[in-house]
Amino acid sequence: MNFEAVKNKIEEWLQPILNEKNLFLVDIKFPMGRQIEVYVDSDKGIHISECAEISRFLEKNLDGSGLVPENYILEVSSPGMDNPLRIPRQYKRRVGQVLEVTKTNGVQVVGELIEANEANIKLRDVPEEKSKTQKAKSKETQELKEHELKFEEIKKAVIQFKF
């Protein structure tokens, strides 16, 4: 299976349906030879019924295309909360959440996403948790630094969760 050819064809087939439904393609992966994972999202999230519809649409196009083996496995889903953010549109939806970003130079930055556009993101340091003896001081006394990162500087960005 020519992965690049399959990826390009899937992107071509999906573009009209994604535009019509105001969805966007996040990624296409081939984790094991015959398995194809397609990740789709929207600015408001994606419903399982939309994933099923896209899956049926792709199966109709892939079956008999000669691009994939007969026993291929197709999975269409949202990127999930633990997958790294890949495209600017995903970041815009996550403003207000805490991200852990690994830069291409290996430096890690953790901060609240306060801004995202097509070229870069801006993170603000998250206030440190204070011990009981320090709680008298307000969070406002901490200096919270902002970090502006261009997308080409970001190797990986994942959402941090507090439980």
Q: Is residue 149 part of a domain?
A: yes
* Cβ–Cβ under 8 Å, residues 63 and 49: no
Residue with tokens 């507090």, as numbered in its chain: 162
User: Is 152 a residue whose pLDDT tops 90?
Assistant: yes
pLDDT per residue as tens digits for the range 56-110: 999 999 998 999 998 999 999 998 777 889 889 999 888 999 999 999 999 999 9
Model confidence band, residue 2 (pLDDT cutoffs 50, 70, 90): confident
Task: Look at strands 98-103 and 108-116 and give their pairing.
Answer: antiparallel
Residue 123: which of 109, 139, 136, 134 has the closest Cα? 109
pLDDT value of residue 163:
58
pLDDT at 10: 96
pLDDT over 90 for what percent of the chain?
65
What single-letter DSSP state applies at residue 45?
Answer: -
Do 104 and 153 belong to one domain? yes
pLDDT, mean of residues 30-52: 91
What's the whole-model pTM score? 0.75
Instruction: Provide the domain limits for residue 17.
Output: 3-77
CATH number of the domain residue 96 falls in: 2.30.30.100
